Amino acid sequence: MNGIDQIVELSKEYLNAHNRMNERFKKWNENKFDVVKSTLNKVREQLINENDFFVNNLYVNSDENKTQVSLRAGQTIVPNSEKFEKGFEINFFQINNGKIYACYYNNSIDKNSISNELFLFDNLEEITEEKVLELVYDGIKKSMKSSFLFNGDK
């Protein structure tokens, strides 16, 4: 195979990538979004029932187009200051090619936090309650270091 045949064969990668993208959008909209959202709601409910710190201060947010869903801690007042610390956020959102980007945002006082990657789902079949729980745990654990509540802790 050479010349134009090679080009035609190579060009089929566009169709394959396009088909994979469409399949990812379909899976996310049909049930994987709901898997993530329901898991985040379970986490939220258990945390607010078992940890007074998060009562009225932990939220699950999503948009109506199902492009993202997140678990977000609210603000914490900084003692002896007029400042508030913005809480952590664990976010799952769909990027342009349908892959799901899982990331966390650190706690922050003076600026908006930047996203930190937890996982990129190419195969949406990998999105399970267990995987979401693992990523939420990792995101909270990593973001704790950014909170003033843990300043000076080892």
pLDDT score at 1: 66
Whole-number percent of the chain with pLDDT over 90: 79
* Residue 146 Cα distances to 13, 16, 80, 109, angstroms: 42, 41, 19, 10
Q: Write out pLDDT tens, residues 81-123.
A: 888 989 999 999 999 999 999 999 998 887 778 889 999 999 9
pTM score, whole prediction: 0.91
Is 28 within a domain? yes
Domain that holds residue 71: 4-148
Residue 65: what are its φ and ψ, rounded to 5°? -90, 0
Based on DSSP, count helices (H) and strands (E) in the chain, helices before strands. 3, 7
Q: Could you tell me the two tokens for 87?
A: 């809480």
Res. 154 pLDDT band, cuts 50 70 90: low
Is 154 within a domain? no
Q: Write out pLDDT tens, residues 23-47.
A: 999 999 999 999 999 999 999 999 9
Say how many C-beta atoms besides its own lie within 10 A of residue 44's C-beta.
17
Q: How many domains does the chain have?
A: 1
Is 153 within a domain? no
Compute the distance between CA of residue 108 and CA of residue 96 in angstroms, rounded to an integer: 28
Res. 144 pLDDT band, cuts 50 70 90: very high
